Amino acid sequence: MGSRALHIKEKRILMYPILLCLLAVILFSCSGSDALDNGILLYWQETKCNDPWGTKESDDENTVREALTGYLFDNGIDEFRIWEFAYMLTDGMVTCDSCGCPSGTVIRVEVDETYVEKMERLGFKYGLAD
């Protein structure tokens, strides 16, 4: 019995390096920010209800994200990451209620550098919109 228990213990010890290697591979492949290798950050000033992907200011972020993703794919942009939705209006800033007026939300999108001109033709602007 002692010999068999020792054999099982040796197998367990041999499994630790294999498990550690697998864990390292998994963690390494999942780490990072999902940033693009040659990513450029652009932004879109969301409007009350006049964005080309058909959403309006009252739609939730997931709805806008899905519609924007479809819009970008439909326009040949297939390497991008939607970074954030940032509310940029501060006290005292004036806006309007027309469909084309800004909602105050800025959508930041990172694209591969090869798509920057195309994104600008679609109306996205270069930079952070601060």
Residue 27 shares a structural domain with residue 88: no
Provide the 3-class DSSP secondary structure of residue 28.
helix
What is the spatial distance between Cα 8 and Cα 13, in angstroms, rounded to a whole number? 9
Question: What are the Cα distances from residue 8, in Å, to 15, 17, 21?
Answer: 11, 16, 21
Residue 28: pLDDT band by 50, 70, 90 thresholds? very low
Residue 98 shares a structural domain with residue 67: yes
What is the spatial distance between Cα 12 and Cα 27, in angstroms, rounded to a whole number? 22
Residue 55 shares a structural domain with residue 16: no
Residue 56 shares a structural domain with residue 120: yes
Question: Who wins on pLDDT, 90 or 112?
Answer: 112
- What's the domain count of the chain? 2
Residue 27 shares a structural domain with residue 91: no
Residue 23 shares a structural domain with residue 44: no
The per-residue pLDDT for 18 is 60
What percent of the chain is predicted at pLDDT more than 90? 55
Strands of 80-87's sheet in order across? 80-87, 102-112, 39-47, 125-126
Residue 38: pLDDT band by 50, 70, 90 thresholds? confident
Tally of residues, the chain: 130
106: pLDDT strictly greater than 90: yes
Residue 45 shares a structural domain with residue 107: yes
**Domain assignment of residue 10, given as a range:** 1-31
Residue 112 shares a structural domain with residue 55: yes
Question: Is the pTM higher than 0.85?
Answer: no
117: pLDDT strictly greater than 70: yes
List the beta bridge partners of residue 76. Answer: none
Question: Nearest Cα to 127, choosing from 114, 108, 112?
Answer: 108
What is the spatial distance between Cα 108 and Cα 70, in angstroms, rounded to a whole number? 16
Residue 19 shares a structural domain with residue 43: no
Residue 7: pLDDT band by 50, 70, 90 thresholds? low
Residue 102 shares a structural domain with residue 62: yes
Question: Nearest Cα to 44, choosing from 68, 17, 79, 75?
Answer: 68
Residue 94 shares a structural domain with residue 43: yes
Residue 56 shares a structural domain with residue 81: yes
